[in-house]
């Protein structure tokens, strides 16, 4: 039996295969009570082949117009996917908004279009030149990927694309997890029902960094298809193998690193500190927390450290944007990610590439990969599990080098952006082909 394919029509999702083509007329008639004709398999193939994805446009409002610096995780992700898509054979543009109009060709082969705007960062107003540029797109050959979560410009662009019948995918870079709505719920729930949900419902697909995250979207009533794609790395993210070092001798102080933004709620820094505080002092374990304070929460982090009497065991450092993450991590033994909810976990991937052992929250998209290659422990984001996870890693100290190298080898083999983009581009093409095939079949049947 041939594998069924879902062709999206305006009336319903119709399952088509060689065996089911014969009763498609009844399916469509039940949906729309219009006289129609049975379609042949040859017609189906010809319609599918007429459409074809030729250009991918990635929109991220704050992407740097010059392509650098790439300091924010979403910037790195968009840059990596764009680079990989070019390698996979796609024509790629990255769109952003800034002070002036500009076009820059990135060394990796994608075009950065910056559209001048005087509007603020969080606004429904799109740059005038961006609105005009949308008129040049073709529904059959262009796909726009909207990057961002709870961002007004993503919604505004989705509405404009919908009006022009240009297909788009929403890539929020995180799950719609219940914990997301627990911070500022009085703002997020109205925005969800009035704005965010509508952008998702009009999308060709929702792009998620972990297939497990689909459940949260489904529970909120989002039924569009899922594009599952991880975050990855490029070759310039790698630390040469000869630079890697491990401290596995008993008696040496154990250095633990949290690498990321100071965000108590999302990143679970409170449960990380409380779990760390329960690890006995006899293990000579020191925790360093390093990253930007975009949320203005570093003072709360310091207050919690003081209340837990961890002042001698925990150090908070400002971000280091000038050094490859792997080189910073090479000075540590364990890298922690304690997020209550997480898209993928770029810091954990960077730790794998640096051959460090990991403590990772089960909510992160990278968690199944950590479990698969056994390069660390996966825990629930609560203080008890974090304490037990750290103690478990201490008991494996003699294996840290072996575990770290296993994680590095796994990441290099499976999580390069070229491999990820190749798989992602295939999903984009299949979605676009199926959508246009369904519409063309519908037009020919009822015409």
Domain housing 307: 235-414
Could you report the per-residue pLDDT of 84-112, keeping only the tens digit for each? 999 999 999 999 999 999 999 999 999 99
Are 264 and 222 within one domain?
Answer: no
pLDDT band at 40 (very low <50, low <70, confident <90, very high): very low
Domain-located, residue 48 = no
**Total domain count, the chain:** 2
- What is the predicted pLDDT for the residue at 446? 62
Cα separation, 130 vs 260, whole angstroms: 32
Are 169 and 291 within one domain?
Answer: no
* Mean pLDDT along residues 193-202: 96
Are 244 and 217 within one domain?
Answer: no
Domain-located, residue 68 = yes
Task: Express as a percent the part of the chain with pLDDT over 90.
Answer: 77
- What is the predicted pLDDT for the residue at 70? 87
Residue 22 has pLDDT above 50, yes or no: no
Are 307 and 258 within one domain?
Answer: yes
Nearest alpha carbon to residue 348 among 325, 314, 327: 325
Are 267 and 176 within one domain?
Answer: no
Domain-located, residue 101 = yes
- What is the predicted pLDDT for the residue at 50? 42
Are 163 and 183 within one domain?
Answer: yes
**How many other C-beta atoms can be found within 10 angstroms of the C-beta atom of residue 149?**
16
Are 227 and 303 within one domain?
Answer: no
Kindly give the pairing relationship between strand 142-147 and strand 5-8: unpaired
Residue 35 has pLDDT above 60, yes or no: no
Could you report the per-residue pLDDT of 296-320, keeping only the tens digit for each? 999 999 999 999 999 999 999 999 9
- What is the predicted pLDDT for the residue at 256? 97
Check which CATH number belongs to the domain holding 325 and give it: 3.40.50.2000
In the predicted model, what is the mean pLDDT of the chain? 87
Domain-located, residue 87 = yes
Domain-located, residue 83 = yes
Could you report the per-residue pLDDT of 328-371, keeping only the tens digit for each? 999 999 999 999 999 999 999 999 999 999 999 999 999 999 99
Are 398 and 270 within one domain?
Answer: yes
* Mean pLDDT along residues 199-226: 96
Are 313 and 327 within one domain?
Answer: yes
Nearest alpha carbon to residue 90 among 415, 413, 426: 426
Residue 415 has pLDDT above 70, yes or no: yes
Burial track 370-395 (b if 16+ CB lie within 10 A, e otherwise): beebebbbbbbbebebbbbbbbebee
Are 403 and 428 within one domain?
Answer: no
Cα separation, 154 vs 157, whole angstroms: 5
Domain-located, residue 1 = no
- What is the predicted pLDDT for the residue at 444? 60
Are 157 and 170 within one domain?
Answer: yes
Could you report the per-residue pLDDT of 250-303, keeping only the tens digit for each? 778 899 999 999 999 999 999 999 999 999 877 789 999 999 998 899 999 999
Q: What is the pTM of this model?
A: 0.84
**How many other C-beta atoms can be found within 10 angstroms of the C-beta atom of residue 333?**
24
Are 142 and 265 within one domain?
Answer: no
Domain-located, residue 6 = no
Q: 355: phi > 0 → left, psi -120 to 50 → alpha, else beta; which?
A: left
Domain-located, residue 123 = yes
Chain centroid to CA 327: 24
């Amino acid at each position: 039996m041939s594998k069924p394919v879902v062709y999206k029509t305006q009336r319903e999702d119709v399952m088509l295969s060689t065996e089911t083509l014969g009763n498609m007329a009844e399916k469509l008639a039940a949906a729309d009570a219009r006289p129609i004709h049975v379609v042949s398999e040859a017609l189906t193939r010809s319609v599918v082949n007429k459409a074809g994805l030729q250009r991918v446009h990635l929109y991220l409002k704050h992407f740097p117009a010059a392509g650098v610096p790439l300091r924010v995780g979403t910037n790195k992700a968009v840059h990596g996917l764009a680079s990989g898509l070019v390698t996979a054979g796609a024509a790629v543009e990255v769109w952003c908004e800034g002070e002036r109009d500009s076009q820059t060709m990135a060394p990796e082969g994608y075009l950065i279009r910056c559209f001048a705007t005087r509007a603020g960062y969080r606004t429904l107003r799109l740059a005038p030149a961006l609105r005009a540029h949308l008129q040049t797109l073709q529904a059959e050959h262009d796909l726009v990927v909207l990057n961002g979560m709870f961002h007004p410009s993503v919604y505004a662009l989705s509405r404009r694309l919908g009006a022009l019948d240009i297909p788009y995918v929403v890539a929020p870079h995180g799950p719609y997890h219940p914990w997301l709505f627990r911070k500022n719920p009085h703002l997020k729930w109205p925005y969800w029902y009035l704005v965010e949900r509508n952008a998702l419902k009009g999308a060709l697909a929702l792009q998620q960094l972990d297939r497990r995250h689909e459940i949260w979207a489904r529970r909120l009533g989002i039924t569009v298809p899922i594009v599952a794609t991880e975050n990855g790395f490029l070759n310039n993210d790698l630390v040469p193998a000869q630079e890697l070092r491990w401290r596995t001798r008993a008696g040496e102080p154990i250095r633990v690193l949290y690498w990321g933004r100071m965000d108590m709620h999302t990143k679970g820094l409170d449960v990380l500190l409380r779990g760390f505080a329960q690890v006995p002092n006899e293990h000579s374990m020191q925790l360093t927390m390093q990253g930007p304070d975009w949320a203005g929460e570093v003072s709360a982090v310091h207050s919690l450290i003081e209340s837990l009497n961890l002042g001698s065991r925990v150090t908070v450092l400002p971000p280091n944007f000038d050094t490859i993450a792997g080189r910073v991590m090479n000075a540590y033994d364990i890298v922690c990610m304690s997020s209550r909810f997480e898209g993928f976990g770029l810091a954990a991937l960077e730790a794998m590439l640096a051959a460090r052992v990991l403590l990772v929250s089960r909510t992160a998209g990278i968690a199944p990969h950590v479990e698969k290659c056994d390069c660390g422990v996966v825990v629930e984001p609560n203080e008890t599990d974090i304490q037990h996870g750290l103690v478990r890693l201490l008991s494996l100290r003699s294996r840290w080098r072996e575990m770290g190298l296993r994680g590095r080898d796994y990441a290099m083999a499976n999580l390069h952006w070229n491999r990820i983009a190749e798989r992602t581009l295939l999903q984009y093409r299949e979605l676009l082909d199926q959508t246009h095939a369904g519409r063309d079949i519908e037009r020919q049947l009822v015409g």
